[in-house]
């Protein structure tokens, strides 16, 4: 089974974490910004639009090309390698969706 990070997987994760701090709409007021982490290398990058600006939600378009496993028209990133997970950055620290949900629920 393909476990690459895709927009379909992001939508599924959003449904799973709906109503918790594991989604952008529920945690942005707590200082979280959408981000991705390559668990193989530990590299963390904020979610960015294709033009490089910070994205308010998780988008694949601005991810490093070396993470891409599928590109679309105009070399738009459609899927990234299996080791990349979606999460959040707050004060320079990466949080998984679970960790962000727990942090928001604690206050």
* pLDDT tens for the 107 residues of the chain, in order: 568 999 999 999 999 999 999 999 999 999 999 999 999 999 999 999 989 999 999 999 999 999 999 999 888 899 999 999 999 999 999 999 999 999 999 87
What is the C-alpha separation between 16 and 53, in angstroms, rounded? 27
Residue 1 has a pLDDT of: 52
Contact call for residues 11 and 95 (beta carbons, < 8 A): no
Strand partners, 77: 71
Two tokens, residue 68: 């891409």
pTM, two decimal places: 0.93
Contact call for residues 61 and 48 (beta carbons, < 8 A): yes
What one-character-per-residue DSSP string does 35-89 give? EEEETTT--EEE-B-TTSPBPSS--STTS-GGGEEEE-GGG-EEEE-TTEEEEEE
């Amino acid at each position: 089974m393909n476990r690459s990070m895709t927009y379909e997987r992001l939508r599924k994760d959003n449904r799973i974490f709906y109503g918790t701090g594991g989604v952008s709409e529920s945690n942005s007021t707590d200082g979280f910004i959408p981000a991705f982490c390559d668990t193989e290398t530990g590299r963390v990058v904020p979610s960015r639009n294709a033009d490089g600006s910070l994205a308010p939600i998780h988008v694949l378009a601005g991810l490093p090309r070396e993470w891409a496993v599928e590109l679309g028209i105009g070399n738009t990133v459609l899927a990234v390698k299996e080791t990349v997970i979606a999460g959040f950055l707050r004060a320079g620290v990466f949080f998984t969706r679970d960790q962000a949900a727990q942090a928001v629920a604690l206050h």
